[in-house]
């Protein structure tokens, strides 16, 4: 079975082009180091819920959109190895400071997941 990292972040609409630029660069690097798939998706049909939702989870503000991303790896060991390489890659150094990110990293959430059903 594979292993998946998932990310959800609020991105200001006026910074979406900057986010895409960062994501394209990061995606190429992740794939170069061995990720099996890399996807970045912008919310299209995501409404606030009564209890919780994607917008509520990131405390979405007016003028922002939710971005949902995932990266697929062969297994957890590969993920750990790849993540270490990506995080130390000098091509992404410009995003090391929180203020350099095109979104509020404090409202982003992420985690690693073991699939329980795959086709």
Q: Show me where the domains of the chain are located.
A: 3-113
- Tens of pLDDT along 10-64? 999 999 999 999 999 999 999 999 999 999 999 999 999 999 999 999 999 999 9
Confidence of residue 96 (pLDDT cuts 50, 70, 90): confident
pLDDT of residue 41: 98
Q: Which fold has domain 3-113?
A: Alpha-Beta Plaits (3.30.70)
Confidence of residue 65 (pLDDT cuts 50, 70, 90): very high
pLDDT of residue 72: 98
pLDDT of residue 97: 87
Tokens representing 77 are 């060991």
Between CA 90 and CA 45 the distance in angstroms is 36
Between CA 79 and CA 44 the distance in angstroms is 29
Between CA 83 and CA 80 the distance in angstroms is 5
* Mean pLDDT, the chain, whole residue set: 96
The predicted model scores a pTM of 0.93
Between CA 76 and CA 94 the distance in angstroms is 27
Q: Is the dihedral of CA 47, 48, 49, 50 positive or negative?
A: negative
Quote the percentage of the chain above a pLDDT of 90.
94
């Amino acid at each position: 079975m594979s292993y998946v990292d998932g990310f959800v972040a609020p991105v200001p609409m006026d910074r979406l082009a900057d986010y895409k630029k960062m994501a394209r660069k990061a995606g190429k690097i992740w794939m170069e180091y061995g990720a099996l798939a890399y996807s970045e998706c912008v919310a299209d049909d995501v409404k606030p819920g009564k209890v919780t939702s994607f917008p509520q989870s990131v405390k979405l503000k007016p003028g922002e959109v939710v971005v949902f991303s995932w990266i697929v790896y062969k297994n957890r060991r590969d993920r750990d190895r790849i993540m270490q390489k990506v995080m130390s890659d000098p091509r992404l150094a410009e995003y090391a400071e929180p203020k350099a990110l095109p979104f509020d990293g404090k409202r982003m959430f992420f985690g690693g997941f073991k699939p329980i059903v795959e086709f």
